[in-house]
Amino acid sequence: MARSYSKYEIRERLIRILENSETGISGARLAQIMGMSRITTTKYLKILALEGTLNQRDMGNLTLWSLEQGQESFTFPDDYFRVSSEYSRILAEGSESEACSLILNSVRSGASAARLVLEVILPASDLISEMYDEGKIGTAEQGLLHSVISRSLQTLERAGTTPEQPDPRRSVVVMAADARSMSTAEITAAAYRAKGWSVFDLGDISSVADVMFDLDFQRLMDRIWKKRQGLMLVAVFSQTAEGLNFFADAISPTRTKLSRDMRLILYSRDVSEKESDTIASADLFSSDLGDILQWSQTVSSNTLR
């Protein structure tokens, strides 16, 4: 019996065959090289052309296939570390097009969106913070590199890696208490989407941190969580104890009033448990996004079973 190949394996084989071809190769010849039927080969050639991996050029009765520019193949899970290193290098150079191309090639090679977020994009975001803290880049450069990460996340979502219909029983509100936390919050929102959660990303809400925020937040919950069904997480990201304290205190009355199935998550890399007097009121305080996502999945499973 002939061996069957996945789309990712076929993509990898075609890239290796076509990467040194300047004029392209016919479908019949590709079928012969790959040891597959012409019908099966043509089916995969058309699929890969639609996704942007291959270029199709008709010359009379002959169709030639070639690689679109910038195509690369990876083997997962082995290549997550390789992609992570390459992405961090590209990010440090500020090349948005290369960064997005790397993410897209990874998706087309079968990478998990959630693992790309946690093992590739998140470490690169941490690298930006380290470079800024060490004075290697300034505020303008930091903003540029964060925009590259935002574009990478958009590329990941446009690649069709997130479920078209998120689970309405699993919802999460993500908010950044300051501008420096916005990138981490955005990355977390993308990770939740990749895992099928309904995500409400509020972005940087430091500008609305006033005495009326508790009422504004309650109105938001009345709008997006009308039936109070399932699990609602609220994740606050902050670089300061003041940010954690303010938003945790403002959210607390709504948690008490609405439902026991609303949980509060606080995240900070720079604040310790001793520095914030509201951390004890949170359901989870962490500086590790992997832990937050794992905890969220566990709580979801226990709540919705």
* pLDDT confidence of residue 276: 66
Ordered domains of the chain (ranges, CATH): 7-67 (1.10.10.10), 80-158 (1.10.1240.10), 167-304 (3.40.50.280)
* pLDDT for the residue 1: 41
- Name the phi and psi angles at 285, rounded to 5: -125, 130
Question: Which runs of E-coded beta strand occur in the chain?
Answer: 25-26, 54-59, 62-67, 167-176, 197-204, 231-237, 262-267, 284-286
pLDDT in tens, 120-168: 999 999 899 889 989 999 999 999 999 999 999 999 988 877 776 889 8
Residue 107: CB partners within 8 Å, gap ≥ 6? 113, 116, 156, 159, 161
Q: What is the pLDDT of residue 61?
A: 83
Question: Which two structure tokens, joined as six digits, stand for 119?
Answer: 């093992």
Query: Dihedrals φ, ψ of 60, to 5°?
Result: 65, -125
Burial 240-277 (b: 16+ CB within 10 A, else e): bbebbbbbbebbbebbeeebebbbbbbbbeebeeeebe
Q: What was the pLDDT predicted at 277? A: 67
Backbone angles phi, psi at 229, to 5 degrees: -100, 145
Per-residue pLDDT tens digits for 275-299: 766 777 889 999 999 899 999 999 9
> Omega of the bond prior to 77 within 30 degrees of 0, cis?
yes
How far apart (Å, rounded) are the C-alpha atoms in residues 188 and 293? 8
Q: Which stretches in the chain have pLDDT values below 50?
A: 1
